[in-house]
Amino acid sequence: MVNQAADLIAALFQPDVPFEPATSKGRIKIAAPDLCIPLFSPLIAAVAQAAPAMTVELLTAPASIREAVLHSEADIGFVFGHPQDDPNLDIHTVSPLQWCTFARPSHPYARHPDTDTWAASAHIVVGKADMQQGPVETRAAAHDIIRTVRCHAPNFNAALTLAADCNALFTTLREPFEPLAQKLGLIACPLPFEMPNAPTAVIFRAAYGDPFQLWLRTLWRSVFKVGKH
């Protein structure tokens, strides 16, 4: 409630100047997990068209995305899960992200997406070799499936590129990476076991009539789409 009261008091002393996207300058700060940053490409393009003097800053490593939005360190936050309600936040649940395995069309798994082919194929994963196993390994192990990891990539874009160049498999969330995967000649294949979709939400600070915040929400709604497959 402290943040809410502070914003309301500040609004009383702000000059009554309308927000004009075509001429306004400043930064729009977006906080999101690294693998979800590609989802904001349409919004960045829309900002460039509607507000050409504004820039977009992508924040991928705040200690807490929720806190970054609450404390005005970010204008938009993208989070996994179901955020707790807060009077200082506008929370918008969006369609869950789906899992897939990216492969070349000529890869055996693209022709036969079965458990044996997936497990026997070379896989690329993101992160250091000594990191704890991720959700894919955990879910695969529950089905008594162990995959063969041949490469640990430093980031998701590198993993996709390596998958295309090395004819390996890369399993990740589909929606953020399918456009790049298609450019690299990869196709999205189903996993050979059930993998729950990843619930997501977009969060804003409560607008309280702020014309910039209201404009940003409208722009986001016009372009932001996930879980469309």
Q: How many CA atoms lie within 13 A of 165 on its CB side?
A: 7
Q: Check residue 16 and give its pLDDT.
A: 54
Residue linked to tokens 């506008």: 90
Residue 148 CA to residue 31 CA, distance in Å, equals: 33
- Quote the percentage of the chain above a pLDDT of 70: 91
Kindly report, residue by residue over 16-29, the tens digit of the pLDDT. Answer: 557 899 999 999 99
Kindly report, residue by residue over 112-142, the tens digit of the pLDDT. Answer: 999 999 999 999 999 988 877 889 999 999 9
Write down the pTM of the prediction.
0.85
Kindly report, residue by residue over 42-77, the tens digit of the pLDDT. Answer: 999 999 999 999 999 999 877 799 999 999 999 999
Q: How many CA atoms lie within 13 A of 155 on its CB side?
A: 10
| Mean pLDDT, residues 202-226 taken together | 90
Q: Check residue 17 and give its pLDDT.
A: 58
